[in-house]
Amino acid sequence: MFIPLSDYWVLVDNSRTSYEIIAERKRNLESTIFDEQRWNALLRTTALDKEAVNSDELKEKILRGLEVAIQKLIRAKQQNKKKTIT
């Protein structure tokens, strides 16, 4: 989900005793896919292919989610202050 927004990322399969790097991208470089089969399976199940993800739309959704979370925290803090005053 955050791949289009990240400068650097690593996708790791840690389901076994030793982990295995599936793919990675370093800053300003193309992605390197080490295990095409598992990478493609991930793309199919999560719709992370380049055509499916609109990074501007994703950024807006993330920002909206953060705004909602901040408002909830503010309300909770205000309610806690009221409880301690009364």
Amino acid 31 reads S
Task: Look at the chain and report how many structural domains it folds into.
Answer: 2
User: Is residue 27 domain-shared with residue 46, that is, in the same domain?
Assistant: yes
Prediction pTM value: 0.47
User: Is residue 4 domain-shared with residue 42, that is, in the same domain?
Assistant: yes
Length, in residues, of the chain: 86
User: Is residue 9 domain-shared with residue 29, that is, in the same domain?
Assistant: yes
Q: Could you tell me the sign of the dihedral formed by the alpha carbons of 33, 35, 36, 40, in that order? A: negative
41-77 pLDDT, tens digit per residue, is 887 777 655 555 566 777 788 888 899 999 999 988 8
Expressed as residue numbers, the domain containing 45 is 1-53
Residue 77 in tokens: 């803090």
Q: Is the pLDDT of residue 27 over 60?
A: yes
